[in-house]
Structure 1
């Protein structure tokens, strides 16, 4: 008998629904009913898996980290030999995935933390773990680029990695406020040029001869 792919269970459906609904409506405006409707499950199924909307939000933040981590781990920005090229390729990759409607490319944890940072420390901490954890993945390449390009600076690789996330999250806010994805794209172009300048204002094409 041929193997039949397992259908997503109610928990997986609710997590997938949370990624879409919260990025579209925001955390506060999203209700348990909204999530159940989007997932196609009953309220009983919701409360079988999650004690509350907050419980789902924390699980969704962790799920988001897992999903995006897999995407970035296999992305082509890891390919260049020069670590600075890898950092710049990362920024270019973030720009390239600004596709579709604004909720499609904005960040779940960035959306949630803007609403909950002072009212729900559990969600805030889950969002910080996701954002800072992603920034940490950039640190080795930035450190290697600093060594290879002779950068002796009063800033750290960790601070630059976090700054990239600040610009990206800010770019998402510009896109939401204006309804224009191109403003987010422009911000990432500025970030690209900024990093080039930090490392001596050499362009990738010049360094490659």
Structure 2
């Protein structure tokens, strides 16, 4: 029972850190904020994590695992054509841009923009997590390239990072504009651009 309770408390803290940091930013988020959102005591917090930074890194890793599950089971992954899967990924990301802004923006992007120069371990965790997601996309990009643009000078890896650059920029404008309209337009342009890279009959 204690083991299950301890696991449940850890999950609550990870989820609270994910949500509060996306809403307030890493620096403005306090241990008290996280404990309040999780409904746990400070003693429970420090039983599981030695510091806010340690929790921040664990939350980033947990966010990556959650994202892998969401995108790994998304409908577009069942499409037989890799280009259709790639374009379906963009559509899927666009469909996620609804509700509260903090609920659809990226914990990794939010964190690394703020602390890249002051918290190298958090920066490294964000880089690893975002790059792992790019690597997942890279497989479909490379397969589509082999089918429709085998002689193109660009690499699948560079296109994967370009897609994520557009997405992170879209999240920034969703925050700046306090709504998803500009972000959605950016993803529409991203989809148009991707179709120009491949010469699908």
Give the TM-score band, short-chain normalised.
Answer: over 0.9
Deviation at 1:122, TM superposition (A): 0.1
Aligned match of 1:59: 58
Residue of structure 2 in register with 1:90 after alignment = 89
1:65, 1:130 within 8 Å by CA — same for their partners in 2?
Answer: yes
After superposition, the CA RMSD in angstroms is 1.2
Residue 15 of structure 1 corresponds to which residue in structure 2? Answer: 14
Partner Cα separation in structure 1 for residue 180 and residue 39 of structure 2: 30
Q: Residue 174 of structure 2 aligns with which residue?
A: 175
Residue 149 of structure 2 contacts residue 197 of structure 2 at CA under 8 Å; is this kept in 1?
no
1:9 CA drift (Å): 2.0
1:108 matched to 2:107? The reply is: yes
Are the equivalent residues in 2 in contact too, given 1:151–1:199 (CA < 8 A)? no
Counterpart of 1:120? 119
| Aligned residue number for residue 40 of structure 2 | 41
CA distance in 2, matches of 1:194, 1:77: 19
SS at match of 2:61: helix
Q: TM-score, normalised by structure 2?
A: 0.95
Secondary structure in structure 2 of the residue aligned to 1:113 = helix
Matched-pair contact (CA < 8 Å) for 1:88–1:192? yes
Q: Which runs of 5+ in 2 are unaligned?
A: none
Comparing both structures, which one devotes a greater share of its residues to helix? 2
SS in 2 for 1:9: helix
Q: TM-score, normalised by structure 1?
A: 0.91
* Residue in structure 1 matched with residue 144 of structure 2 by the alignment: 145
Ranges of 4+ aligned residues in structure 1 off by more than 3 Å:
none
**Residue in structure 2 matched with residue 166 of structure 1 by the alignment:** 165
How much has 1:139 moved relative to structure 2?
A: 1.0
